[in-house]
Amino acid sequence: MSKLRLFCFPYGGAGASWYRSWSRSLPDHVEIVPVNFPGRENRFRETPHTEIAPLLTELLTTLDFTSGPFAFFGHSLGALVAFALTRELREKRKTLPRLLIVSGYPAPHLFRDRPHVGKLPHDEFVATLREHFDVTDELLDNPILAEMALPVLRADLAVVESYAYRDEPPLDLPLVAFGGLGDPEASEEQIRAWQAQSTRPARVRIFPGGHFYVNSERPAVLDEVALALRGIPTQYV
Catalytic positions, please?
76
Could you give the CA distance from residue 126 to residue 10 in angstroms, rounded to a whole number? 21
Strand positions, DSSP E, 90-194 = 100-103, 175-180
- Whether 11 and 219 have beta carbons less than 8 Å apart is answered as no
- Side-chain-side CA neighbours of residue 189 (13 Å): 4
- Whether 81 and 56 have beta carbons less than 8 Å apart is answered as yes
Question: What is the edge-to-edge ordering of all strands in the sheet holding 70-75?
Answer: 30-34, 4-9, 70-75, 100-103, 175-180, 203-207
